Copies of this chain bind each other. A is one copy, B any other.
Amino acid sequence: MGQGMSKSNNVYKDAYNRCLRLLDETRSLPSEPELGTLLGVSRTTVRSILARMEETGLIAWNKRAKTVLRDPRPDDFFPEEETDTLAEIIERSFMRRLLAGGAEAGMQINELELAREIGVGTTSVREFLIRFSRFGLIEKRRNSHWVLKGFTRAFALELTEIREMFELRSAAAFAALPQDSPVWADLDRLEDEHRLLAREIATRFNAFSELDERFHRLIHRASHNRFIVDFYDVIAMIFHYHYQWNKAQERERNEVAVGEHLAYIEALKSRDLGKVDAACRKHLKSARQTLLTSIPLQKS
């Protein structure tokens, strides 16, 4: 596909799509700097977006006046796959390979081959592997190839050991937070979302994964420790792919987890360290179990 391209304009395309959705709500767009902060891009990109919107007759643009002329149609949007970052594309391909089986521990990883297969430059693949290495699934041999350590039972155990250590500590810190801390309001909101999901679990069980991440990140943040907070990236990555992959009894598993979360939230609100510890331990134990059962059995 994109051979020879120096750099894809996915930032522009993604922001353009998001800006289209904004169009539905107003009759005229705000100033360029304001749009920039709203979309999280620079004014340069905002101006490219506005230029195209004028071209396709979506808006009339003259200096400060940006009047909406018509509602966006489905074909105004850029295709979803063109809005992904290279990093996302590479990660997806890599994880697909890794989980598609046949990815034995100890196997060599070839930068050039990966790059060719995905259709991107080697630099991007290298940078991805370096970033990815902190997840502990791959390792670099000094001035030589990368080695796959594998998504093994040992990996899951090491991961959960740290997770439990960190989360117990964070949960205790959370419970000790003063009553006027804004986190309690965040927790209330999350509790509501959990109750809602519990009621509609039969149909919306796949909405859990996203809620799960937000809940645990909130707790970890209470540690006020960057290493603990950052470590949740490892967990989030693993769970992200794990959820996509292991669909067995997903509804039941998620239903149980929602219940555990609610008990956990209750404990936090009680601010009773003993209760918090117990509820946290219980949830982490079943989370570990879920992860472990989903790991393919090793050869040796």
- Residues of chain A whose beta carbon lies under 8 Å from any beta carbon of chain B: 11, 40, 123, 126-127, 130-131, 134, 136, 142-143, 149, 155, 158-159, 161-162, 165, 169, 224-228, 230-231, 234
Contact = CB atoms under 8 A, between A and B. Distances in A.
Copies in the complex: 2
Contacts of A226: 136, 149, 155, 158
Contact of A136 (B126, B230, B234): B230
The 9 closest A-B CB pairs, nearest first, are A158-B225, A136-B226, A162-B227, A130-B130, A134-B134, A130-B131, A158-B226, A11-B143, A161-B225
A142 B15 CA distance: 13
A20 to B, nearest CB: 20
Contacts of A234: 227
A227 B136 contact: yes
Nearest to A149: B226
8 contacts: A40-B142, A123-B123, A130-B130, A158-B224, A158-B225, A158-B227, A162-B227, A165-B165
Contacts of A155: 226
